[in-house]
Amino acid sequence: MHKIMMLRLRWLGGVLLGALFLMPCSLWALDEVTFEALIDKDKVEVGENVQYLITINFGMGTMAPSITPPTFNQFTVLNEYQTIQPKGEGPERYQVLKKIWLLQPTEPGKISIAAAIITYQDPTTNLLKNGKTQVQFLTVVHSVVKETPATAAPAAAPNTPVAQAKLKMFWIISGGVGAVLLLLILVIVFHKPSAPKVIHEDTALRALDKAIGHAEEENLEAYYVALSRAFLDYLRNKFGIDGDMLATPALLAKMKEFGFGPKILHELETFLKTSDKAKFGGYAPNEDEMIILHGINKNFIEAGRKIKIKAAKPKKKKDEDEE
């Protein structure tokens, strides 16, 4: 009797073990967070719409990931929207997050859309992690203007007094239009165009996008140097301040005088304290810290758009020594 019971238990254990091996592999694969970025076209004309899509797959018991998108400096952002939908059934059920930006390129050339930052919860450790999507490339060409078919030449007007009066009126109007066109041409030729307005925030954000290239090459030291250079150049160009010459408290006080709010000032203090540790203590931020510093820098620059000032040029070091 004892042997029969042992045989039954072994048989039952074998059945359960076999069932585990026959379970679909996707049951464990659902615990892995995956993401990708895509554009629906690889070549468009200036002014033509293009969609930039980020798709994230994550488990039902995992918090929804957050997306820090790249800056679309060479595009006009027409719209953006996000959806989260469940997929699958039973133990294979998971969630799909999709976020789409409708963009319109503003200039021709080979344009790159930098990597987006994905912050998600690791289902194994329950810790937050950061990941990056692939860089996307788009070729933008000039728009092609379609020619309209030429109209047929008008038939010769009959030689009547009414027709002659109409023809005379036509030449008078044509002469007036020609004089106006000539005046416009002279104005265009002799008018001295004003210098294009420089938007310091756009220049600084382009520098941040360029700095991300070092992160993609896993060169964190060059990434940090480029990030700091973009910040210091923005201070000099926008506010006329040499950031290297001011201590952290003095610089924060200056930014408060210009009108930055408490939230931006708090983030800026974190950035400046990290810079002090790197400058005076040889501290090297890791990859996760660099992502946070990048976001702080971007938020500071975007907030600067609302501040309208006429910045003075920074004094030369010789003048400061004399004072």
User: Is position 93 within any domain?
Assistant: yes
**Is the pLDDT score of 29 beyond 70?**
no
User: Is position 159 within any domain?
Assistant: no
User: CA 116 to CA 285: how far, in whole Å?
Assistant: 20
Q: Are residues 285 and 217 in the same domain?
A: yes
User: Is position 11 within any domain?
Assistant: no
- Mean pLDDT of all residues in 55-75: 89
The string of pLDDT tens digits covering residues 139-170 is 999 887 655 555 544 555 456 777 777 888 88
**Is the pLDDT score of 131 beyond 60?**
yes
Give the distance from CA 283 to its chain's centroid: 29
The Cβ of residue 295 has, within 10 Å, a number of other Cβ atoms equal to: 15
Three-state DSSP class for 283?
coil
Q: Are residues 211 and 112 in the same domain?
A: no
- Mean pLDDT of all residues in 205-213: 91
Give the distance from CA 309 to its chain's centroid: 26
Final residue of a domain: which of 141, 162, 185? 141
123 closest CA partner among 21, 34, 20, 22: 34
User: Is position 187 within any domain?
Assistant: no
What is the enclosing helix (H) or strand (E) of 138?
strand 136-141
Q: Per-residue confidence at 258, pLDDT binned at 50, 70, 90?
A: very high
Q: Per-residue confidence at 18, pLDDT binned at 50, 70, 90?
A: very low
Q: Are residues 206 and 307 in the same domain?
A: yes
Query: What residue numbers bound the domain in which 282 lies?
Result: 200-313
| Reported pTM | 0.40
Q: Give the type of residue at 255.
A: M
User: What's the structural domain count of the chain?
Assistant: 2
- CATH number for the domain that contains residue 79: 2.60.40.740
